[in-house]
Amino acid sequence: MSESTTIRPLRAAEVSTWDQQADVVIAGYGIAGVCAAIEAARAGADVLILERTGGWGGAASMAGGFIYLGGGTPLQQALGFEDTPENMETFMLAAFGPGVDKAKIADYSRGSVEHYNWLVDCGVPFREAFWGEPGWEPPHDEGLMYSGGENSAPFNTLAVPAPRGHVPQMANKRTGAKGGGYMLMKPLVETAESLGVRVEYDIRIGRLVVDDDRVVGLTARRYGKEIAIRADRGVVLATGSFAYQKEMIEGYAPRLIGRPAAAIEEHDGIGIRLAHALGAQLAHMDATEVAFMADPQLMARGIVVNGRGQRYITEDTYPGRIGQATLIQQDNQSYLVIDEQSYEKALTTETATPFFRQPPTWVAETSAELEAEMGLPTRALQSTIEVYNLHAEQGRDPLLGKKPEWLRPLRGPLAAFDMRGFTAGFTLGGLRTDLDSRVLHVSGEPIAGLYAAGRCTSGLCAGGYASGASLGDGSFYGRRAGLAVAASSPSADRSSIQTHVRN
């Protein structure tokens, strides 16, 4: 059978035997799945999670662990930062667009403090310490950091800057290998399992099963055998992004061709495709998070220029914002230029990403020589440095708004790093859902029995991004999915369904 056939929904009448049954069936045991499971189980539902791999965690357990929270969380307050839901909403509307789901952003900002308390109640640890240096992550186990450019131009003029990157405490972490995401997932998994949530591993969901217009279950494959699983109250899709689905990347988010990152190979878009085949709406399929493989301590002290030698973004902002601007607006052409004094200073600082501190590609005594070494047209880089220095001497950056603390004229020997093509990322687009995580049909109506959360949905970010937005909306709307599906009426009287478990 071709994949285009197998992706289509199956009619319930064609299912001869239901091999398993639960009130709520959740596909995927990452951040959205575990949060859906906890809330559904607490509401009294019998919950079954189906996970493709041999263990829980998904991308979430490998993540750095930023959770984007604010509005005055106890951690923000303990560390002396003022924030309100309205302030958080203002920032998110400005930074996460264009085209954000305004209702979701208002809802998320207002629910953020409660969500923080819920995570803490589930056992997620946050250390009361703030990391205020430029960086991708705190290098130690600090619990709070700016993670979206809130304190940089242009956002520091639009909303009161407040750090919202909340990181679960993790000892001896290593960026990209062992991070706070594990300490987010572990207590949540323990909570789910203490509530009696059942989990089946090494099982891969296949097709949605529908009865009239309602989703009543799904099929799955395990060790080559197809089985059918009945979901009396509904199915929650929590299978992650489409970063690793070649055709979808080519069709929807071609800037990411050949450059997936911060995702796992199981992120093959299956949840999106299954629901789309049922008529679900998609949103912001072109939106992408973009990592830029440079050390923020170096960037803040230097200038980042495009293929024409011109600055295009303030260098002291969230490095993911620099990545997006580079990939999407500058055709992935970028160089980092710094003088010897600032370079030496940057190397004395702490960083979570020492592997991004590679030797420079070119060094020269003057900007004219550096420009020639880099192969840039005469005076393209020289004029950029001249204008930057002119204003930096006055402690200003009228072009891009870099903060005075990072402004110093670039003088003496100079170095440049070739950053062309140094970006990678994951997809942010997916199923359009409402505030109860119900999957919306193209008609605008919810599809009965079908819920989704996490990176298989279009969440808070429609274009811009902040670190923590994925674990943030995945956990928040995972919970909503769990609450809503548990509260829905069953699709049929259980006793009328003939079931047995195959041997």
Ligand X SMILES: Cc1cc2nc3c(=O)[nH]c(=O)nc-3n(C[C@H](O)[C@H](O)[C@H](O)COP(=O)(O)OP(=O)(O)OC[C@H]3O[C@@H](n4cnc5c(N)ncnc54)[C@H](O)[C@@H]3O)c2cc1C
Does 460 participate in binding ligand X (rule CB under 6 A)?
no
Among 15, 26, 32, 216, which residue sits at the site for ligand X (rule: CB under 6 A)? 32
Among 143, 454, 463, 482, which residue sits at the site for ligand X (rule: CB under 6 A)? 454
Among 9, 139, 176, 360, which residue sits at the site for ligand X (rule: CB under 6 A)? 176
Does 470 participate in binding ligand X (rule CB under 6 A)?
yes
Helix (H) / strand (E) containing 262: none
Output b/e per residue, 227-239; b: 16+ Cβ within 10 A: bbbbbbbbbbbbb
344-383: contacts with ligand X (CB under 6 A):
none
SS3 (DSSP) at 421:
coil
Among 12, 26, 45, 59, which residue sits at the site for ligand X (rule: CB under 6 A)? 59
Q: Which of 239, 286, 291 is nearest to 267 (CA)?
A: 239
Q: In the beta sheet, which residues pair with residue 362?
A: 416
Least CB distance to ligand X at residue 228 (A): 14
DSSP string for residues in 265-310: TT-SSHHHHHHHTTTB-EE-TT-EEEEE-S-HHHHHHSEEE-TTS-
Distance from chain centroid for Cα 33: 15
Extract the runs of DSSP E, i.e. beta strands, from 38-142: 47-50, 67-68, 130-131
Q: Give the C-alpha separation, 284 to 428, whole Å.
A: 7
Q: Give the C-alpha separation, 234 to 237, whole Å.
A: 10
Would strands 165-166 and 446-452 be described as parallel, antiparallel, or unpaired?
unpaired
Does 205 participate in binding ligand X (rule CB under 6 A)?
yes
Q: Are 57 and 210 within 8 A, CB to CB?
A: no
Does 52 participate in binding ligand X (rule CB under 6 A)?
yes
Does 217 participate in binding ligand X (rule CB under 6 A)?
no
Does 227 participate in binding ligand X (rule CB under 6 A)?
no
Among 6, 9, 10, 53, which residue sits at the site for ligand X (rule: CB under 6 A)? 53
Nearer to ligand X, 32 or 305 (CB): 32
Nearer to ligand X, 317 or 437 (CB): 437
Least CB distance to ligand X at residue 135 (A): 12
Nearer to ligand X, 134 or 302 (CB): 134
Does 425 participate in binding ligand X (rule CB under 6 A)?
no
Does 320 participate in binding ligand X (rule CB under 6 A)?
no
Binding site for ligand X (CB under 6 A): 27-33, 50-53, 58-60, 62-66, 176, 181, 204-205, 238-240, 262-264, 266, 270, 454-456, 467-472, 474
